[in-house]
């Protein structure tokens, strides 16, 4: 491997030489995807805590709110900021030249909505306003499926 200056280097294989670059666009996507790992994982954990059995509702709620506020919300904000920054850098490409981003943002919007609904249920349990998980099990399923579909549309660039 030979350095070629800021942000670039060469890798030499058996039969070819390929330049590998870490540009801003790729860096934003990397940060966005990293934040997504923590965001989606945290909300899944919030849902599991809300749904836990044989544990006092307030205790479940308090633990779920801690995960929500310390990991879920910061990771969501990071994902949103880096994803939006990448989007606005090439709005023409994402909104006019290609079509996959429309589908991707629809699923992302559902994921964001359910993030707030599941977080709100955790807060209600913690405050004593609610003592049951309500529709959390079904909402968590929809949340997981929509997160997977958001990733699918953008990775396979669907619809074409
Ligand atoms: C919060 C709102 C969101 C915005 C504004 C946003 C925006 C973006 C943008 C602009 C890209 C770059 C697309 C490309 O050029 O290939 C991207 C990539 C990606 N997004 Fe999002 N996104 C959001 C939410 C999500 C969600 C909820 C998921 C799934 C959990 C997700 C998963 C991904 C993945 C896996 C990539 C990388 C695709 C690839 O490069 O192959 N995003 N996002």
pTM reported for the whole predicted model: 0.89
> The tokens of 28 are what?
């934003």
Phi, psi (rounded to 5 degrees) for 3? -70, 140
Pocket test for ligand 1, best of 44, 83, 143, 157 (most atoms within 8 A of CB): 83
Task: Measure 61 CA to ligand 1 centroid, in angstroms.
Answer: 30
Helices (H) and strands (E) in the chain, counts: 6, 3
Nearest CA to ligand 1 atom 30: 147
Nearest CA to ligand 1 atom 10: 87
Domain ranges of the chain: 23-155
What does the alpha-carbon distance between residue 3 and residue 22 come to, in Å, rounded to a whole number?
A: 13
The string of pLDDT tens digits covering residues 52-77 is 999 999 999 999 999 999 999 999 99
The string of pLDDT tens digits covering residues 30-53 is 999 999 999 999 999 999 999 999
Q: Beta-carbon neighbour count of residue 59 at 10 Å? A: 13
Sheet holding 8-12, edge to edge: 2-3, 8-12, 17-21
Task: Measure 67 CA to ligand 1 centroid, in angstroms.
Answer: 23
């Amino acid at each position: 491997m030979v350095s070629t200056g800021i942000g670039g280097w060469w890798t030499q294989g058996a039969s070819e030489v390929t330049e590998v670059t870490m540009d801003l666009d790729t860096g934003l996507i990397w940060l966005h995807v990293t934040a997504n790992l923590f965001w989606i994982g945290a909300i899944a954990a919030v849902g599991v805590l809300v749904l836990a059995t044989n544990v006092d509702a307030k205790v479940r709620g308090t633990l779920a709110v801690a995960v929500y506020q310390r990991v879920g919300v910061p990771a969501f904000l990071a994902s949103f900021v880096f994803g939006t920054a990448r989007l606005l850098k090439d709005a023409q490409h994402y909104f006019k030249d290609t079509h996959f981003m429309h589908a991707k943002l629809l699923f992302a919007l559902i994921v964001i909505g359910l993030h707030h609904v599941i977080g709100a249920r955790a807060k209600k349990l913690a405050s004593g306003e609610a003592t049951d998980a309500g529709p959390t099990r079904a909402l968590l399923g929809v949340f997981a499926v929509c997160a997977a579909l958001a990733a699918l549309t953008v990775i396979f660039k669907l619809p074409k």
